[in-house]
Structure 1
Amino acid sequence: MEHKSRIKFFSKLDFILILITSVIVILLYKQILNGYFQQDEWYGFGYIISNRHLGVWEILKLYFSPNIGHYNPLANIIQHYLYILWGTNYNNYAFLSMFLHVLTVIGVFILAKIIFTGNSLKAFFCSLVFGLFASSYQGTAWVVVSIATQASSLLGIISSIFFINFLKRGRSSSLIVSLLVLITSLLFKEITIGIFPLYVVLYFISRKTIKNALNKSLFIILLFGACYLFFRVSMLYFPNTARSSLVTQTQSPGNILYNFSTMPAKSIFQVYVPSNYTKQASLILARVFPEEITGIPGSPEFEKFSVEKLMEISNILAGLAMIAIGFVLIYKAKGSEYKFITFFGLGWVILNSLIYSFAPESSRPIFAIDSRNLYFVAVGAAILLANLLTLNFQKKGAFIGIFIALIYLGFNALSLNTTLDSFTRVGAVRKTILDNIIRLYPTLPPRAVIFTKSDSTYYGLPAGESILPFQSGLGQALLIVYSQQDELPHEFYPGDYLWDIKSQGYQEHDLRGFGYFREESRLKDTIKKYRLPVSGVFAFTWEGKTNELIDITKQVRNEIIK
């Protein structure tokens, strides 16, 4: 009986649908092979290089040591040894990211099929829409950062599969496995913390009365959640705790409360409609208002009004409307299964979005949620959408439901393709710049300085701050790529040196020196101060209109000599 059930679940149709979904996802995401590393990834590489001299036991102690900020020891260890193995071989990370995304998509298919009581077509739609969500593309396209996001998400999905199995069959072993997998997921990234309260709510719903729910199983769920919470809170008092930034250091209590109360509404809307679309719509709509209120179109004040007022209000109202519709459907649903699925999807989005209210990276309210932060939330959004659209498949309005589903899938496929195309074009430019510098000067002298000029500015910097198209410091990126051939002293890589987008400077460690400058006056002052040889200066100019890097080393050296 049990064997037949397993064969029926993994039917030939299931494998065909999983294969189709995987192929579609791979065909769209293969573009990331033409991309390159992002700012957070360069920062991570710098941290790894600064610790690559440590032994295995020291690495374990380093990454498992308490941290009051992010605590992702398993992800950090894997990223550390992948860097030792692959260095900055981008394609290896990209292939791994696509593989993990496909595994996560398959996990969503299995979870959805269990939730939809064996309906393969609903599971197919659910997994496909999750795989193609344009709003969460960074969860895969940021190929190093994605390791933590995807691994945690995949384990969170596996945990949910075991938990749903526990609810349906009452096996305590499934509950224990579910909670152990969830704890493991949290050690990759804390994005699955909302699963704990979701499990409690789902358990109460499945038992129908409070009296039936108050038993050993509920105690086990609460015990696991309390133990993890105690473990994290206790890190505040450990003597050797790493003092990473906390949300209270950058956000006011008012901002924290505002983010916490509005995050679910913004998350559910922005996962369905990428924030770049609502931003563009807000910029257009803002022109209707008087300039006394908005500022001059194109000015920073105009964009601030568009994003912080129009976009923010519209996102919150639209998200609240979606949540309200979900609760109305739960209230009016006749079948307990439909009610449970709607509550599962809605609860997943709401509870798993709250963790991002405590992101310490910003000092302002969060208006546009980072794409990668919508990756795990998107699982519940896909289930909720599949449940809503497929409600009509068995009625006279089936054609309408199918038509809307196809339109939405097409919209996401086109949007994802456009987003990835833009994303990879910028990455390809960055890779070409670094490759050309390394090709022209494959090795550096003991004391080296790289100088760059540019005719363009990027990423909202003022006109006087001309840079190359790197969202973090080009100096640190150069340090990291040169470290592939030349093991520079690890003191160069504490993480912050030359990492900021506008950073310049020079340091010396163990008879080696490295610096990066954009201002010629600071370059000359540093050469005089440290008595650097002119032969150690390498210079380039960037033509932004033609995307061309020109070697001007001889000219700059001659100017310095004069």
Structure 2
Amino acid sequence: MLPCLILVIVVLVIYFPLTKTFYQQDEWHGYGMYLANGPAMIFSSATYLSKNLGSIFLDTNGLINIFLGEGRIFTRFLQYEFYKEFPLDVTPVAWFSIILHATNTILVFLLAKKIFRKDLHAFFGSLFFAVNSVSQSSITWIAASVNTLPSTTLILLAVLFYFKFVDLFENKWLFCSFISIYLSLFFKETGLFLFLLLPLFSFVYKKYSIIEFIKKYWYFFLTMGLIVVFRLYEFKSVPHEEVLFLTGSSKYFLDSLVVRSVLYPLTSLSLSIVPPDIFLNFARYITNVYYPFVPEGQFILIAQTAVLDLLAIVLSAVIGVISFIILKLTEIKIRKHVIFWFIFLLASFLPYIIISKSYSYLESRYYYVASVAWAVIFAWVLKVCEEKIKIRLLQFLILIAFLFFLFAHINAAQKNLNQLVKDSQVRIGIIDQIKRIKPTLENNKNIFYITGDSDFYLVGNKVPFQTGMGYNLMSLYYNSGKIPTEFLDQSYLFEIGSKGYKESSEYGFGYFSDLDSLRSVFKEKKIEKTAVKAFYYNSKANTIEDITSQIIIGL
């Protein structure tokens, strides 16, 4: 099928550079968990609730939590296999991401074609899904792609099965839809909202008595109810460092969830289709024009939060009005499908209401499922324009405008990906040079000191890594047998900018980027000078210089 072939080619052309990237952030942590735990990493977080909610869960060894999707064990299995077979090699995972995104794009095309019956409209709608720069990190961030992409594949299959059920009202298709949603939870809980949306929207296609409705859909509601209750109880009752970004320990816990359940979908309706740089620049312009008195130190914060939220709500309102008008021009059968996708779009953000955000946009990967809905909606808009607008020139201009819109996304996606490739090659160069100078660790106690001519991401971080360089080095040298397993398992030195020295039994490891801290620990712990390995990073030449002899003299 020609449209599918073109869509696959587009995905390959845009995302092929992903094969030249390297670990960014959480990939380092995942690799460390693999080294520390081996196959046990697959279940390492699946028993979190079992450790906190009483003996009944301890007795089942976390089976109830695994049953409810806790721990994303399918995702962890994929991560384990990739780390095991391809350590420190992103290429296989990159191809996995590219192929799965292409697969999802084809599934979106099939969904749109099933609804609108024309290849051309479905093709252009799917093209938006393929190139959407807002949701790009779902493909380009390897740590996110292994859960978001397969989860979305199963969500798309669930919707395809659901529409098959709506056409034939055969229960086997409804059950297939349920199974697809349920399995998607073991990659990521993104599709949780479908347990509610699909049964309720069935009223639009068929009339049910209350008893009939409950008999047919009870297992949808039971599954969702159990998952939601357990998750909220976890976030509310078990505060710890991994959920500090949630509102679990706040007295405004429920208030926050209610407000977000309204504002997240409302703002994201428009944010999910506008490239962030374009919208952010416009928000800064409006802030500068309308609020010229805002202090310089608060300008960016206000522009990227309150002002951008306001602009997003205004644009969402405009989209809503235009969509309402176009719906009036749409035949009833198609209208039902379009309303489904608008509800799908808004509801897709509800699983994220437990997550706070630092500015108006949520993290990029959270827009991937919403892009599915927008692809179908754009296909619908183009279909109505072709059918209702009789002036060929106007039809042509609308198509050209849509193509410019797509090119804006392609340009943003390529810009982001090119920067990612550039950063990755720099990081690969640093790792290769350090390993060339210091192939392995001979001492039981080791301290790395790295300084340089620049700071990256925060003051004192002398190498361009978005995680703690100490953790990265422990992962790199773990096979030397000199790194205590618990250091990796406890995420020691993982946070960006982390420094310090720690011992376990006869082993010790430390990382520093400032000489005074190194001297202090060196004297306090009475460490031998042979434990120190020092480097200087020249960011302009991207070179690592061994300065161990100079640093040791000053200790």
**TM-score class, shorter:** 0.7 to 0.9
Write the distance in 2 (CA, Å) between the matches of 1:33 and 1:56: 25
Are the structure 2 counterparts of residues 405 and 134 from structure 1 closer, same or farther at C-alpha, using a change threshold of 3 Å?
Answer: same
Whether contact under 8 Å (1:258, 1:365) holds in the other structure is no
Residue 496 and residue 489 in structure 1: after superposition, are their counterparts in 2 closer, same or farther (change >3 A)?
closer
Partner residue, 1:319 = 316
2:262 maps to 261
2:53 — aligned with what? Answer: none
CA 1:70/1:542 → structure 2, altered by over 3 Å: closer, same or farther?
farther
Contact 1:204–1:213 under 8 Å retained in 2: no
Distance 1:547 1:63 in 2: 47
Task: Find the counterpart in structure 1 of residue 419 from structure 2.
Answer: 422
| Aligned equivalent of 2:284 | 283
Cα distance, 1:225–1:46 mapped onto 2, change above 3 Å: farther
2:534 aligns to what SS in structure 1? strand
Change (3 A) 1:290 1:353: closer
- Residues 473-501 of structure 1 deviation map (CA, whole Å, 9 limit, x = unaligned): 11112222223565733211124311111
Q: Residue 457 of structure 1 is aligned with which of 455, 460, 465?
A: 455
**TM-score, length-scaled by structure 1:** 0.87
Aligned residue number for residue 43 of structure 1: 29
1:72-221 mapped onto 2 (5 Å cutoff): 72-116=72-116, 118-207=117-206, 211-212=207-208, 214=210, 216=212, 219-221=215-217
Question: CA 1:122–1:80 in structure 2 vs 1: closer, same or farther (change >3 Å)?
Answer: same
The one-letter amino acid of 2:484's match is P
Which letter does structure 2 place at the counterpart of 1:32? Answer: L
Does residue 34 (structure 1) correspond to residue 31 (structure 2)? The answer is no
Counterpart CA distance in 2 for 1:354 and 1:77 is 27
Q: 1:469 to 1:63 in 2, by over 3 A?
A: farther
Q: How many residues align?
A: 530
Partner SS, residue 421 of structure 2: helix
How far apart are residue 503 of structure 1 and its match? 0.7
Give 1:175 shift. 0.4
Report the AA paired with residue 397 of structure 2. I
8 Å contact kept, 1:136–1:371? yes
In the alignment, structure 1 residue 25 sits paired with structure 2 residue 11: yes
Q: CA deviation at 1:215?
A: 6.0
- Counterpart-to-counterpart distance in 1, 2:450 and 2:64: 39
More deviation, 42-51/375-384: 42-51
Q: Aligned-pair RMSD on alpha carbons?
A: 2.9
Q: Alpha-carbon deviation of 1:536?
A: 2.1
Amino acid at match of 1:169: L
Q: 1:147 to 1:232 in 2, by over 3 A?
A: same
Which residue in 1 is equivalent to 2:371?
A: 378
SS in 2 for 1:452: strand
How far 1:128 moved relative to its partner?
1.6
Maintained 8 Å contact 1:46/1:495: no
For residues 78 and 229 of structure 1, what CA distance do their matches in structure 2 show?
28
Note the 1:514-553 alignment, pairs <5 A: 514-553=509-548
User: Matches of 2:230 and 2:406 in 1, distance apart?
Assistant: 45
> Does the 8 Å CA contact 1:60/1:77 hold for their aligned counterparts?
no
2:402 partner letter: A
Please, what TM-score do these two structures have when normalized by structure 2? 0.88
Letter aligned with residue 343 of structure 1: I
The answer to whether the 8 A contact 1:447-1:512 is kept is yes
Distance 1:328-1:49 versus aligned 2 partners, 3 A rule: farther
SS at match of 1:516: strand
For the 8 Å contact 1:449–1:514, the answer to whether it is kept is yes
**Cα distance in structure 2, aligned partners of 1:60 and 1:310:** 40
Distance 1:45 1:556, change over 3 A: same
The letter of the residue matching 1:23 is: I
- Give 2:50's aligned residue: none
Q: How does 1:481-500 map to 2 (within 5 A)?
A: 481-483=476-478, 486=481, 488-500=483-495
In the alignment, the residues of structure 2 paired with residue 316 and residue 57 of structure 1 have an alpha-carbon distance, to the nearest angstrom, of 41
Residue ranges of structure 2 left out of the alignment (5+ in a row) = 48-60
For 1:80-106, what per-residue CA distance to the aligned partner results, in whole angstroms no more than 9, with x for missing partners?
A: 233222222111211111121112112
- Identify if the C-alpha distance between structure 1 residues 161 and 400 changes in structure 2 by more than 3 Å, giving closer, same or farther: same
Question: Where does residue 496 of structure 2 map in the other structure?
Answer: 501
- Residue equivalent to 1:354: 350
Q: Distance in 2 between matches of 1:81 and 1:63?
A: 23
Q: Is the 8 A contact 1:196 1:221 kept in 2?
A: no
CA drift of 1:143 comes to: 1.4
Residue aligned with 1:502, SS: coil
| TM-aligned CA deviation for residue 286 of structure 1 | 2.7
SS of residue paired to 1:467: coil
Aligned CA distance change for structure 1 residues 327 and 198 (closer, same or farther; 3 Å): farther
Letter of the 1:42 counterpart: W
CA contact (8 A) 2:199 2:220 kept: no
**Equivalent residues of 2:445, 2:507 under 8 A apart:** yes
Query: What amino acid is the match of 1:124?
Result: F
CA change 1:257–1:193 in 2 (3 A) is: same
SS across alignment from 1:164: helix
Cα 1:283–1:334 change in 2 (3 A) is: closer
Q: Distance in 2 between matches of 1:444 and 1:487?
A: 7
Which residue type is aligned with residue 465 of structure 1?
Answer: G
CA distance in 1, matches of 2:209, 2:156: 23
Matched, 1:476 2:495: no
Find out whether 1:52 has 2:38 as its counterpart: yes
Q: CA deviation at 1:154?
A: 0.5
Please tell me the residue identity of whatever aligns with 2:87: G
Match of 1:343 in 2: 339
Q: In structure 2, what is the Cα distance between the partners aligned to 1:53 and 1:406?
A: 47
